[in-house]
Amino acid sequence: MQEELRMVTEPVVVQAIINGERVDTEKRYTRENPANPEEIVGYGPVNTREDAVRAIDAAAAAFPAWAQTPLRERIAHMRRAIARFREAIPELVPLLSREHGKPVYDAQGEMFVSLAWMDYACDIAEEALAEKVEQHENGKTIITRDPMGVVAAITPWNYPLALSTIKIAPALIAGNTMVLKPSPFAPLAVSKAVEWMAGEFPAGVLNMVHGDADVGVELTTNPKVAKIAFTGGTKTATHIMKSASDTIKNMTLELGGNDAALVLSDFDVNDERAMRRLVISNFLTTGQICMIAKRVYVHRSIYDAFVEKYIEAANKWIRVGDAFHPDVTIGPVNNLPQVRHVERLIEDARSRGAKVIPLGRILDENVFAKGYFMQPTVVLGAGYDDPIVVEEQFGPTVPVLPYDDEEQGIQLVNNSIYGLTSSVWGEEEHALRVARRIEAGTTMINTAAVQGLDIRYPFGGFKQSGIGREYGVEGLLGYTELHVINVPKVGELPNIPE
């Protein structure tokens, strides 16, 4: 993924896509560069509920023919759409970095994950969606995987391309049509990608509208929508579940996390690479990842040595600056409300007596002062129930807390309304034993967050971190209904009177 970048500095204008047409609006919203909020990176359309209705109608009209299109042809359309996405990467990477704030290497990583998943979904589709025929003593049963209809996909700002393509590929391959609504906090690169991809499908198969809760409400209440694929905050999901309940929609919900890293007594604090992986798993994408390690529990026997080495490793790896600075590892926070949320949690921890230690290096003080930058911090001495520990911070700060025995450590990890991912650090067999007791959709050993992600396996949360799974075969089957066709030999109940 080392293509030349094609930087466009004029503001980019993106539109809605409804029934194969790009649709503009008179009013537009702006998206600024979080590293320099005076710089407008682009404009998006201000769509209304009526626009959402038109997009849903187009998707509903396109559904019957698309569902009847042979699977191989649908896969071929998707492969062409992926090729368009791939060609666009030199333009998408800098655009994503500018609208989001994430460093270029991080934006490239997002492209890589998006492509890997879409390719994989194409590769596995024929086997995963094949109908099964069973001959048995009572005749024959055929089980098919049918598409559901119109999928409303609603995505967040932190990984806008990865979290949209994670839905587009399986939903469309399985024969559904879609209306996607990206987040207004990072709408530009994903809209460009969807615009190019949509051209490779019949009109109406892949639509997109912009907006926030206003448009979202239409997508989640409209009776023509069969399934909601949502990634975002747990609180937003409670609104969505209520909206969707009147028409009993199918849902996949990928929600918040407060993922824990549990460091066992036999973790080697002098293993510099492991320590670096842990730091990265706390601060990659400025901590704005659902699956980032957001609280670290360390066995008391190694706590002091751990903290010393952790701070050393963090100071080495963390270099805060503009996405295009050659030495940058961490960019700004994506938006001001998020900065305020993280600041509030840090201030609260400080007011309760915790020590907040700044980490890393600021590459350019002038750049830093202008943008939505925050100096990354580690919080020591927080209480187990303090908001910085129990709430999802989704930003560049992490509490590190000691625990006394393993039982307590496991309890602390599991004592959360969330259960997205987790990690255990220490001797492998020991860590594996502990991992089996953790309540989370994924547990990683001696690594964490996207470093340990494998798109071939299902991803999703326990408890209030979500419902259903994305990635893996399950991530494709989640867009299908099981349809059982019985051809019994007799077909009558024996005890029914003539």
| Rounded alpha-carbon distances, angstroms, from residue 307 to 186, 300, 361, 378 | 35, 11, 18, 9
d(CA 260, CA 41): 35
| Rounded alpha-carbon distances, angstroms, from residue 5 to 32, 104, 177, 188, 284 | 20, 9, 32, 16, 21
d(CA 437, CA 11): 50
Rounded to an integer, what is the distance from CA 415 to the centroid of its chain? Answer: 23
Selected binder of ligand NAD within 41, 206, 261, 290 (CB under 6 A): 290
Selected binder of ligand NAD within 120, 157, 462, 471 (CB under 6 A): 157
User: Which CB, 189 or 420, lies closer to ligand NAD?
Assistant: 420
d(CA 146, CA 207): 21
Report CA Rg, the chain: 24
d(CA 294, CA 125): 35
The reply on whether position 356 binds ligand NAD by CB under 6 A is: no
User: Which CB, 231 or 321, lies closer to ligand NAD?
Assistant: 231
- Answer yes or no: are the C-beta atoms of 194 and 143 closer than 8 Å: no
- Answer yes or no: are the C-beta atoms of 230 and 53 closer than 8 Å: no
Residue 365 annotated in active site: no
**If binding means CB under 6 A, how many residues of this protein chain bind ligand NAD?**
30
- Answer yes or no: are the C-beta atoms of 59 and 51 closer than 8 Å: no
Q: How far is the CB of 437 from ligand NAD (least distance, A)?
A: 22
The reply on whether position 155 binds ligand NAD by CB under 6 A is: yes
Site string for ligand NAD, 386-425 (x = CB under 6 A): ------x-x-------------------------x-----
The reply on whether position 371 binds ligand NAD by CB under 6 A is: no
Q: How far is the CB of 144 from ligand NAD (least distance, A)?
A: 29
The reply on whether position 99 binds ligand NAD by CB under 6 A is: no
Instruction: Compute the C-alpha angle 105/110/111, nearest 5°.
Output: 95
Selected binder of ligand NAD within 231, 422, 442, 447 (CB under 6 A): 231
Task: Catalytic residue, from 99, 110, 254, 470: name it.
Answer: 254
Selected binder of ligand NAD within 28, 80, 239, 430 (CB under 6 A): 239
Selected binder of ligand NAD within 37, 202, 233, 383 (CB under 6 A): 233
Joined together, the tokens standing for residue 83 give 């090729």
User: Which CB, 212 or 407, lies closer to ligand NAD?
Assistant: 212
Burial class (CB in 10 A: 0-12, 13-18, 19+), 360: buried
Catalytic residues: 254
Residues that bind ligand NAD in the complex, under the rule CB under 6 A: 154-159, 163, 181, 183, 212-213, 216-217, 220, 231-233, 236, 239-240, 254-257, 290, 392, 394, 420, 461, 466
